[in-house]
Amino acid sequence: MALAAETQRCTGQALLDAQLDLWHHTFGYIKSMALKSALDLRIADAIHHHGGAATLPQIVTKVTLHPSKTPCLRRLMRALTVTGVFSAQHPADDGGEHVYRLTPASRLLVGSPNLAPFLTLVVDSVFVSPFFGLGEWFQHELPDPSLFNMTHGQAVWDMASHNATFDKLFNEGMIADSGFIMDVVIKECGDVFQGISSLVDVAGGFGEAAQAISKALHVKCIVLDLPHVVANAPAGTDVKYIAGDMFESIPPANAIFLKWVLHDWGDADCVKILKNCKKAIPSRDAGGKVVILDMVVGVGPSDTKHRETQALFDLFIMFVNGVERDEKEWKKIIFEAGFSDYKIKPVLGVRSILEVYP
Ligand SMILES: C[S@@+](CC[C@H](N)C(=O)[O-])C[C@H]1O[C@@H](n2cnc3c(N)ncnc32)[C@H](O)[C@@H]1O
């Protein structure tokens, strides 16, 4: 009897655990949307304004909020503290106010480096809305249309060239990411760029990464990107901007840098880009190399958060028919493009640096 009751209890608990798993996944998007509203309302800035610790009434003085929504903001803050975006110190007495603080994560939403523009891009409706059609997209033959095209009727780069608001959102997001990660690149593996006298940052956007390399390592840098990007590139930097198409040709240099470029493209396109890179650089003995900053799935720390973020990023980038590759997949495109060797430096968390040699 006792055994039967225990079994029943275990079964019930197992069922509840299974239900919890499903609910946890299903409501996962609310986490993203809570973070999005924190970005929209600039809650981290409001806390930062008060010295990094603020009560709800203090936060309210700095965010645009209808007074009737103050209790709702308290609930938003509860979700954001449970998920670790902020921390909360409980009041000593029942009538007291919680004190909300920035965590290491939300400190990256204020000051510099600042990841807010990149996160704002990823949770923007232009990027989120395609995922409602993911199930339907699986029923169509590859390669076209991408999930993004299926939703918006155009490719990301076409939208960026016609829609100034999206273009700004996109470029600001990329600048924010480069501003953050290039500091780490230079600290952790600046040696990758040692001995290089000239470098082309292929599809380098507004050149934030090239500027960081040029400034820290005194390498002469050129940024190659599409004409609409180069037309709006910042003036007065020490990098040179060239409008062009990486599928056509790449200006010659000692080395090529490709940050977050190859993950946007399928294998055949990556091989074309890499072949053009190879044409632009000297032999390995003469110092020629391609430096790639991208994800190598399965490489880097092996905890669940890292692995899950890599798998989710891969699914995310699939919306432009892009791929986050594992080592075997990288090896295939690298050798198919005619390169002879490569090295992976897993020093950037979920991302890595790949050094590729002619
Ligand atoms: C994901 S962004 C990466 C930008 C930059 N490397 C970074 O990480 O900040 C991809 C870039 O590829 C550029 N791009 C797309 N197609 C291109 C082409 N055919 N030739 C040159 N650049 C291109 C886009 O304009 C965009 O700036």
Main-chain phi, psi angles of 313, to 5 degrees: -65, -35
Q: How far is the CA of 231 from the centre of ligand 1 (A)?
A: 14
Using CA positions, which residue lies closest to atom 27 of ligand 1? 205
Contact yes or no for 133/147 (Cβ under 8 A): yes
Contact yes or no for 118/176 (Cβ under 8 A): yes
Ligand 1: which of 225, 257, 316 to mutate, judged by most atoms within 8 Å of the beta carbon?
Answer: 225
Q: Which residues line ligand 1 (CB under 6 A)?
A: 157, 174, 177-178, 203-205, 209, 224-226, 229, 245-247, 259-261, 264
pLDDT tens digits for range 279-290: 999 999 999 999
Closest ligand 1 atom to residue 228 Cα is: 25
| Residue closest to 237 by CA, chosen among 213, 267, 262 | 213
3-state secondary structure of 343: strand
Does residue 153 come out as left (phi exceeding 0), alpha (psi in the -120 to 50 range) or beta?
left
296: β partners:
325
Closest ligand 1 atom to residue 178 Cα is: 9
Does residue 342 come out as left (phi exceeding 0), alpha (psi in the -120 to 50 range) or beta?
beta
pLDDT tens digits for range 10-46: 678 889 999 999 999 999 999 999 999 999 999 999 9
Does residue 294 come out as left (phi exceeding 0), alpha (psi in the -120 to 50 range) or beta?
beta
13: β partners:
none
| Arithmetic mean of pLDDT, 301-309 | 95
pLDDT band at residue 6 using 50, 70 and 90 as cut-offs: low
d(CA 104, CA 86) in angstroms, rounded, equals 9
Closest ligand 1 atom to residue 260 Cα is: 8
Ligand 1: which of 177, 199, 246, 294 to mutate, judged by most atoms within 8 Å of the beta carbon?
Answer: 246
Written as one letter, the residue type at 355 is: E
Give me 122's structure tokens: 């990823």
Check whether domain 2-107 has CATH 1.10.10.10, yes or no: yes
Distances (CA, A) of 38 to 27, 78, 334: 17, 12, 41
What strands, in cross-sheet order, belong to the sheet with 86-89? 53-54, 99-102, 86-89
pLDDT tens digits for range 85-143: 999 998 877 778 899 999 999 999 999 999 999 999 999 999 999 999 999 999 988 87
Check whether domain 116-357 has CATH 3.40.50.150, yes or no: yes
Closest ligand 1 atom to residue 201 Cα is: 6
3-state secondary structure of 136: helix
Q: How far is the CA of 262 from the centre of ligand 1 (A)?
A: 9
Q: How far is the CA of 204 from the centre of ligand 1 (A)?
A: 6
d(CA 276, CA 253) in angstroms, rounded, equals 12
Q: What percent of the chain has pLDDT over 90?
A: 91
Pairing of strands 99-102, 240-243: unpaired
The distance from CA 323 to its chain's CA centroid, rounded to whole angstroms, is 14
DSSP string, 41-84: HTHHHHHHHTTTEE-HHHHHTTS---GGGHHHHHHHHHHHHHTT
SS (H, E, C) 79-109: HHHHCCCEEEECCCCCCCCCEEEECHHHHCC
Q: What is the pTM of this model?
A: 0.94
pLDDT tens digits for range 180-239: 999 999 999 999 999 999 999 999 999 999 999 999 999 999 999 999 999 999 999 999
pLDDT band at residue 144 using 50, 70 and 90 as cut-offs: confident
Ligand 1: which of 185, 245, 261, 324 to mutate, judged by most atoms within 8 Å of the beta carbon?
Answer: 261
Residue 263 appears among annotated catalytic residues = yes
- Residue 1 half-sphere exposure toward CB, CA atoms < 13 A: 0
Predicted confidence at residue 93, as pLDDT, reads 76
Domain boundaries in the chain? 2-107, 116-357
Q: How far is the CA of 112 from the centre of ligand 1 (A)?
A: 24
Give me 305's structure tokens: 């958060």
d(CA 164, CA 357) in angstroms, rounded, equals 38
Q: How far is the CA of 317 from the centre of ligand 1 (A)?
A: 14
Q: How far is the CA of 85 from the centre of ligand 1 (A)?
A: 30
Contact yes or no for 291/193 (Cβ under 8 A): yes
